[in-house]
Amino acid sequence: MHPFDERLAALGLTLPPARDAIYAYKKTIQVGTTLYVSGHVSTILGRLGHDLDVAVGANAARECALGIISTVRASLGGFDRFSRFIKLTGIVHATPDFTQHPHVINGASNMLVEIFGDAGYHARSAIGVGSLPNGCAVEIEAIVETVA
C-alpha cells in the first residue's frame, strides 16, 4: 500500500469513486508532468452567507478535495507518479457581502497538507460567485505535478 493510501486510512478517510465527466470535457488532462484536474463540486447545496456558514462550507471544500484526490489517483493509476499539488482554485457560492472565501477553501487546503505533507502545499485562489452548478456550495479545481 502506498504511504498516501496508508495516511488516508489512518485519518479514517474514504475516497469517493472517481467519476467520468458527464459533459464535453475530461476530468483530467496531462501536459508533460502537469496534470490539470477539472472542477469537482460538493454535494452540499446552498449559499454561503445566506443558508450556510463557514464550517459547512469548509466541509463542502473537504468533500471536493476528496473527489480531486480520487480523480488524481485514478488518472495516474495510483500515487506512485504523484509529485505534489501546485495550485487550487476554490469557487464559493456566496452572497455579495460574504467575505470569508479563504476560510471556506481552507477546508480543502488543510486536508491536502494533512494527507500529503509538504506535497499538499499549493498556491491558491479563493473567489465567490452568485451561482454554481445545481446550487452546490463549493467547486474546486487543481493543478498537480507528476513524475515523468
Rounded to the nearest integer, the mean pLDDT of the chain is 96
Q: What is the mean pLDDT of residues 24-34?
A: 96
Among 13, 16, 103, 124, smallest CA distance to 56 is for 103
pLDDT at 19 over 90: no
Looking at residue 71, its pLDDT comes to 98
Cell numbers 467520468 label which residue? Answer: 20
Give percent above pLDDT 90 in the chain: 94
As given in the structure block, the three cell numbers for residue 43 are 454535494
Looking at residue 37, its pLDDT comes to 98
Summarised one tens digit per residue, pLDDT across range 51-60 is 999 999 999 9
Summarised one tens digit per residue, pLDDT across range 105-143 is 999 999 999 999 999 999 999 999 999 999 999 999 999
pTM over 0.75: yes
Q: What is the DSSP letter of 39?
A: E
